[in-house]
């Protein structure tokens, strides 16, 4: 069920909020949360509901067994359970997401023909399996004890605000809130603001730009002028950020309305000073996951190696980051692209970059990020050359495929608010109003209400579109 | 005054949030809601869930397994969810006003974007793909640009015509092509579409068509001609275009039909002054332009028995219109009501001094022609292949002896949409 649907905003959300504030006991609240999360998931993907149950059971029981082994000081057994738990989570993910991809590779390598039936991907599987793995590893590393209450555990793993597109949350981050839910009007108010802001980013800006980019990236690049190609990739750069961060804002907002503080996922990534900085600001919880559970263990395991250790570890981590985004070569190459850049930055270039003028740092970062989105957006690797050709003027400024022939000229004004909402400016204005309080705060909230009503007009008139990140 | 500033936002937000469900709860069970603009019944759960009703009946009969199977299927296929989503949007308070406001916003953004271009033909909204000619207040489609798939379709259509003419050598085949503005050299947007078709596809099609098939077309020789022959707010041809088309088709048929009865001439041109015809383009864009003047005509139509899908009925509401019995509500489909309704097969059995029968294969453009051409044939049959999927020409000819077969329509019917418009032989 998309957050930006009328069903969610005017039926699902009011019912859940009402139930949440009528019922005060944490166990009953968590029962409501689990039930509503199952309905939320099944609304969009009913045939994969069993995958959710399987994930809950695997992680709950393996967590308990690891905890028990640790309590008995049986480190060896705990390790066996830990690896089994991780393996089962990865098997679940691999079975649905990567079977076809790896069989295609085998098919190409071996002199036999392998045919597989295409499996549909359970929504949000990449997110909830990574949450499951973090839970298993956190118990093994004694970061947090296992959750004994199945209802509390289920509400952590599948709570609907973060279920489909994150933020990937560790149990330790919301454990207290699950056990001792708090009703704080200030939190609800912040949640409402956050939700409205995210909804507007997604519906008004990201969805509109997505119509333009869909047309542009479906057309013939060899006949596209540089103007349209640049508009296309800039619009996509903004769209993917506004879509994903808009969803995250809504998730965090709904979480706050229900009394949970989910972790932040974005921190204005397009103002980064370097690519390392970008990955500290973009999809923060995924970056943190890979850093905590892969990069640091790799560094530790290979600490005796001196030659290019950090660089090769970065490359491994980002190859897997790319693969996490999709079972396709373009995502792998996109990950490798960032792995190589980060390895170069880690080899001393990053220090030199810090000495350059801030403007140079921003241009460097933004240029590389935008190029990266070309690899990400265009799945057909053979088309990359012709798109870059169009970007760099091989077909002239204008060619057969134009703003008018694709009927996308009227999406150009959307770039202005899209840029504004991608920079900290609007956020700072809001923060200033909150700090000043009084009439400024009232005006800010009038602005939010107008934005909410305005966004509703978009939803009702244009229907709704699926969120992009749910497919990863 | 509110005690704390944040309460202001909370109160307003929750009022808005709860207003829709409360409205739905207290509005009761209104009678069937039909949206004329969208030409559909708005999604009311109690009207839209026959499967659920059957499931409830099963439960009442104690057949729980059957009830479960039904609901499970509805749910896993996503049909239940889609219906609820649709109903939630359909029944939202002030929905139509909100949509109108949104369309107005669309127009503001479009006008802003085109401010610096000086274009006099600009998009009419953001979603329909239609354009508005600002000076003439005419809604039009942009030029068509054909791709490789379309070329394949054209080849398939040509193959179908060849097969028809060789399989049925005793039958006369005719094509009457209505040139649409999007396929014409006179579309005012052609200059912005370097790959615009400009009539090339039809020319290529004609060159490869078997010579035994006679072809005529309502050709656009200028943009003005389009404005004369077609509505401003609808894709259909108007009375002017229809009569011109009938004229040309009559001459086309007469070439191989020496004893063809006299052409039917309009005895009266009627303008329905109180009708503002807001056609399909208007419904799609909600662009604020005046509706078309709706005109009809009367003639000495022969007395005919009409069967719609085998059932005797009234093909159109022309007589009612001429008596003044019609709706003046906006967005009513006057074209369909006045000129004829769409069915799988319409059969005209007329008191005409003729010994030949005609089969017309076409879409809504052919509807006004049927009652006119029926005056030249003993039996006139009209088949819309989109609504008559099982139609085969061999089967039809076995049952109905027809000498002349006429294809009437725009690009899709004549040469482009092989999926829908290829005639199955057996």
Span A123-135, pLDDT tens digits: 999 999 999 999 9
C-alpha gyration radius of chain A: 23
Check whether residue A123 and residue A214 sit in a common domain: no
Check whether residue A394 and residue A247 sit in a common domain: yes
pLDDT confidence bin for B414, thresholds 50/70/90:
very high
CA distance B10 to A247: 21
The Cα angle at residue B353 between residues B352 and B354, in degrees rounded to 5: 95
Start-to-end CA span in chain B (Å): 80
Residue B382, CA distances (Å) to A82, B222, B331, B346 in order: 72, 31, 26, 5
Residue B129 touches partner A, C-beta closer than 8 Å: yes
Which among B187, B159, B184, B164 is positioned nearest to B174, based on CA atoms? B164
Domain boundary among A183, A218, A237: A183
Residue B77 inside a domain? The answer is yes
Pairing of strands B404-409, B357-362: parallel
pLDDT cut 90: percent of chain B above it: 47
| pLDDT of B40 higher than 90 | no
- CB–CB of A404 and B78 under 8 A? no
Distance from CA of A192 to the nearest CA of B (A): 7
Print the domain residue range for B392. Answer: 148-421
When divided into structural domains, chain A yields a total of 2
Q: Specify whether A50 is catalytic.
A: no
C-alpha gyration radius of chain B: 26
Check whether residue A410 and residue A449 sit in a common domain: yes
The Cα angle at residue A262 between residues A259 and A266, in degrees rounded to 5: 140
Check whether residue B206 and residue B326 sit in a common domain: yes
pLDDT cut 90: percent of chain A above it: 65
CA distance A42 to A56: 15
CB atoms inside a 10 Å sphere around CB A80: 14
Check whether residue B133 and residue B155 sit in a common domain: no
Distance from CA of A156 to the nearest CA of B (A): 25
Check whether residue A280 and residue A206 sit in a common domain: yes
Cβ-contact A358, A272 below 8 angstroms: no
- CB–CB of B7 and A185 under 8 A? yes
Residue B426 inside a domain? The answer is no
Q: What secondary structure does DSSP assign to A372-390, as a single string?
A: HHHHHH---GGGHHHHHHH
From A440, which residue of chain B is nearest by alpha-carbon distance?
B5
Check whether residue A391 and residue A252 sit in a common domain: yes
Domain boundary among A133, A163, A183: A183
Residue B353 touches partner A, C-beta closer than 8 Å: no
Name the active-site residue from A50, A81, A325, A362. A325
Of A6-15, A22-31, A65-74, A106-115, where does mean pLDDT reach its minimum? Answer: A106-115
pLDDT of res. B31 = 54
Residue-averaged pLDDT of chain A = 90
Cβ-contact A131, A95 below 8 angstroms: no
pLDDT of res. B34 = 64
Check whether residue A141 and residue A260 sit in a common domain: no
Residue A406 inside a domain? The answer is yes
Eight-state DSSP code of residue A170: -
Check whether residue A437 and residue A299 sit in a common domain: yes
Check whether residue A267 and residue A369 sit in a common domain: yes
Which chain B residues are Cβ-neighbours of A220 within 8 angstroms? none
Check whether residue A143 and residue A227 sit in a common domain: no
Cβ-contact B279, B336 below 8 angstroms: no
Check whether residue B105 and residue B205 sit in a common domain: no
Mutate to test the interface with A, among B4, B6, B109 (most CBs of A within 10 A): B6
Domain boundary among A122, A148, A183: A183
SS3 category, B362: strand
pLDDT, one tens digit per residue, over B83-121 is: 788 778 877 888 888 888 989 999 999 999 998 888 899
Residue range A251-270: mean pLDDT, rounded:
93
Residue-averaged pLDDT of chain B = 87
| pLDDT of B79 higher than 60 | yes
- CB–CB of A457 and B102 under 8 A? yes
At B382, give phi and psi (nearest 5°): -125, 115
In A94-225, which ranges are continuous DSSP H helix? 99-109, 125-140, 150-158, 160-163, 171-179, 185-200, 207-217
From B125, which residue of chain A is nearest by alpha-carbon distance?
A410
Residue B18 touches partner A, C-beta closer than 8 Å: yes
- CB–CB of A402 and B192 under 8 A? yes
Residue range A387-392: mean pLDDT, rounded:
92
Instruction: Please tell me which of A29-33, A108-112, A175-179 the model is most confident about, judged by mean pLDDT.
Output: A29-33
Residue B79 touches partner A, C-beta closer than 8 Å: no
- CB–CB of B13 and A438 under 8 A? no
pLDDT of res. A39 = 92
pLDDT of res. B139 = 94
Which chain B residues are Cβ-neighbours of A437 within 8 angstroms? 5
pLDDT confidence bin for A343, thresholds 50/70/90:
very high
Check whether residue B367 and residue B312 sit in a common domain: yes
Nearest to B84 among A7, A189, A404 (CB): A7
Check whether residue A432 and residue A450 sit in a common domain: yes
Mutate to test the interface with B, among A444, A457, A458, A466 (most CBs of B within 10 A): A457
Start-to-end CA span in chain A (Å): 16
pLDDT, one tens digit per residue, over A292-320 is: 999 999 988 888 888 888 889 999 999 99
Interacting residues of B189 by C-beta distance below 8 A, sequence separation 6+: A404, B121, B131, B140, B142, B143, B196
Print the domain residue range for A227. Answer: 187-471
More confident residue, A228 or B80: A228
| pLDDT of B23 higher than 90 | no
pLDDT of res. A166 = 77
- CB–CB of A461 and B98 under 8 A? yes
Which chain A residues are Cβ-neighbours of B17 within 8 angstroms? 9-10, 13-14, 17
Check whether residue B70 and residue B107 sit in a common domain: no
Check whether residue B343 and residue B415 sit in a common domain: yes
Check whether residue A288 and residue A155 sit in a common domain: no
Nearest to B88 among A11, A15, A44 (CB): A11
Check whether residue B178 and residue B238 sit in a common domain: yes
- CB–CB of B103 and A461 under 8 A? yes
Residue B213 inside a domain? The answer is yes
CA distance A415 to B53: 49
CA distance A467 to B12: 27
| pLDDT of B297 higher than 70 | yes
Which chain A residues are Cβ-neighbours of B148 within 8 angstroms? none
pLDDT of res. A467 = 41
| pLDDT of B41 higher than 70 | no
Check whether residue B155 and residue B128 sit in a common domain: no
Of B68-82, B212-226, B328-342, where does mean pLDDT reach its minimum? Answer: B68-82
Check whether residue B216 and residue B238 sit in a common domain: yes
Residue B216 inside a domain? The answer is yes
Q: What secondary structure does DSSP assign to A19-82, as a single string?
A: HHHH--SHHHHHHHHHHHHHHHHHHH-GGGHHHHHHHHHHHHHHHHHHHHHHHTT-HHHHHHHH
Residue A408, CA distances (Å) to A78, A253, B114, B123 in order: 58, 32, 11, 10
Residue A1 inside a domain? The answer is no
More confident residue, B11 or A65: A65
CA distance B265 to B267: 6
Check whether residue B107 and residue B161 sit in a common domain: no
Distance from CA of residue B207 to its chain's centroid? 29
Residue A213 inside a domain? The answer is yes
Check whether residue B130 and residue B161 sit in a common domain: no
pLDDT of res. A309 = 85
When divided into structural domains, chain B yields a total of 3
- CB–CB of A188 and B112 under 8 A? no
- CB–CB of A463 and B76 under 8 A? no
Which chain B residues are Cβ-neighbours of A452 within 8 angstroms? 13, 16
| pLDDT of B262 higher than 80 | yes
CA distance B147 to B164: 26
Check whether residue B85 and residue B181 sit in a common domain: no
Residue B95 inside a domain? The answer is no
pLDDT, one tens digit per residue, over B129-140 is: 899 999 889 999
Residue A451 inside a domain? The answer is yes
CA distance A131 to A37: 15
Check whether residue A348 and residue A366 sit in a common domain: yes
Distance from CA of A10 to the nearest CA of B (A): 6
Which chain B residues are Cβ-neighbours of A400 within 8 angstroms? 194-195
């Amino acid at each position: 069920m998309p957050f930006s649907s009328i069903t969610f905003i005017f039926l699902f959300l009011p019912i859940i909020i009402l139930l949440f504030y009528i019922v005060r006991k944490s166990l009953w609240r968590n029962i409501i949360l689990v039930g509503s999360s199952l309905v939320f998931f099944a609304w969009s993907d009913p045939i994969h509901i069993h995958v959710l149950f399987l994930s809950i059971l695997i992680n709950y029981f393996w967590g308990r067994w690891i905890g028990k082994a640790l309590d008995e000081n049986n480190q060896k057994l705990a390790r066996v359970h830990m690896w089994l738990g991780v393996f089962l989570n990865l098997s679940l993910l691999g079975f649905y997401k990567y079977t076809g991809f790896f069989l295609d590779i085998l098919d190409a390598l071996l002199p036999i023909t392998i045919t597989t039936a295409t499996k549909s991907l359970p929504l949000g599987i990449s997110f909830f399996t990574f949450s499951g793995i973090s839970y298993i590893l956190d118990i093994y590393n004694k970061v947090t004890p296992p959750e004994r209450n199945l209802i509390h555990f289920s509400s952590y793993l599948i709570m609907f605000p973060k279920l489909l597109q994150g933020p990937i949350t560790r149990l330790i981050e919301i454990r207290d809130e699950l056990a001792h839910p708090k009703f704080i009007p200030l939190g609800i108010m912040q949640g409402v603001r956050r939700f409205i802001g995210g909804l507007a980013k997604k519906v008004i800006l990201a969805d509109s730009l997505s119509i333009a980019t869909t047309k542009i990236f479906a057309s013939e690049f060899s006949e596209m002028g540089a103007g349209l190609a640049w508009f296309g990739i800039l619009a996509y750069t903004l769209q993917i950020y506004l879509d994903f961060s808009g969803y995250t804002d809504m998730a965090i907002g709904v979480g706050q309305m229900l009394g949970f503080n989910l972790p932040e996922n974005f921190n204005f990534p397009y103002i980064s000073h370097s690519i390392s900085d970008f990955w500290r600001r973009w999809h923060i919880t995924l970056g943190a996951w890979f850093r905590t559970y892969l990069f640091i263990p790799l560094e530790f395991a290979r600490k005796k190696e001196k030659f290019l250790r950090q660089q090769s570890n970065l490359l491994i981590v980002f190859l897997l980051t790319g693969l996490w985004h999709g079972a396709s070569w373009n995502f792998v190459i996109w990950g490798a692209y960032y792995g190589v850049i980060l390895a170069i930055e880690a080899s001393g270039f990053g220090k030199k970059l810090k000495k350059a003028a801030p403007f140079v740092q921003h241009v460097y970062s933004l240029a590389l990020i935008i190029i990266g989105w070309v690899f990400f957006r265009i799945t057909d690797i053979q088309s990359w050359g012709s798109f870059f050709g169009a970007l760099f003027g091989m077909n002239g400024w204008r060619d057969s495929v134009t703003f008018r022939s694709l009927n996308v000229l009227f999406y150009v004004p959307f770039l202005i608010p899209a840029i504004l909402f991608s920079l900290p400016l609007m956020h700072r204005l809001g923060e200033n109003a909150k700090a000043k309080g009084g009439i400024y705060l009232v005006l800010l909230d009038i602005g939010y209400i107008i934005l909410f009503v305005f966004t509703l007009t978009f939803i009702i008139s244009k229907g709704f579109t699926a969120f992009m990140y749910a497919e990863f | 005054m509110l005690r704390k500033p944040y309460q202001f936002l909370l109160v307003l937000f929750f009022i808005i949030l709860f207003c829709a469900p409360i409205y739905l709860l207290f509005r009761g069970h209104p009678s069937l809601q039909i949206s004329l603009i969208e030409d559909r019944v708005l999604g009311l759960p109690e009207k839209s869930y026959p499967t659920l009703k059957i499931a409830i009946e099963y439960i009442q009969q104690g057949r729980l397994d059957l009830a479960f199977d039904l609901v499970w299927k509805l749910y896993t296929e996503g049909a239940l969810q889609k219906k609820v989503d649709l109903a939630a949007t359909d029944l939202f308070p002030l929905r139509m006003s909100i949509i109108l406001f949104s369309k107005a916003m669309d127009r503001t953004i479009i006008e802003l974007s085109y401010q610096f271009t000086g274009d006099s033909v600009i998009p009419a909204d953001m979603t329909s793909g239609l354009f508005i000619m600002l000076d003439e207040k005419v809604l039009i489609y942009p030029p068509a640009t054909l791709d490789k798939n379309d070329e394949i379709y054209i080849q398939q259509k040509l193959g179908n015509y060849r097969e028809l003419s060789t399989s049925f050598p005793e039958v006369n085949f005719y094509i009457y092509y209505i040139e649409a503005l999007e396929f014409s050299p006179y579309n005012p947007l052609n200059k912005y579409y370097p790959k615009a078709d400009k009539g090339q596809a039809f020319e290529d099609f004609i060159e490869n068509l078997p010579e035994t098939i006679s072809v005529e077309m309502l050709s656009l020789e200028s943009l003005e001609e389009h404005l004369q022959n077609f509505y401003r707010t609808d894709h259909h041809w108007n009375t002017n275009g229809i009569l011109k088309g009938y004229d040309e088709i009559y001459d086309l048929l007469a070439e191989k039909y020496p004893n063809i009865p006299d052409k039917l001439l309009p005895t009266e041109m009627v303008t329905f002054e109180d009708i503002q015809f807001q056609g399909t383009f208007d419904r799609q864009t909600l662009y604020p332009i005046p509706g078309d003047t709706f005109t009809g005509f009367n003639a000495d139509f022969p007395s005919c028995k009409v069967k719609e899908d085998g059932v005797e009925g009234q093909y159109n509401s022309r007589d009612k219109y001429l008596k003044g019995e019609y709706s003046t509500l906006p967005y009513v489909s006057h074209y369909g009501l006045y000129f004829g309704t769409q069915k799988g097969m319409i059969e005209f059995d007329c008191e005409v001094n003729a010994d030949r029968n005609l089969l017309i294969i076409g879409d809504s453009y052919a509807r006004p022609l049927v009652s006119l051409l029926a005056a030249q044939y003993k039996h006139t049959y009209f088949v819309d292949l989109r609504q008559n999927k099982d139609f085969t020409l061999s089967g039809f000819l076995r049952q109905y002896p027809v000498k002349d077969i006429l294809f009437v329509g725009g690009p899709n019917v004549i040469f482009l949409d092989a999926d829908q418009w290829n005639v199955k032989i057996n």
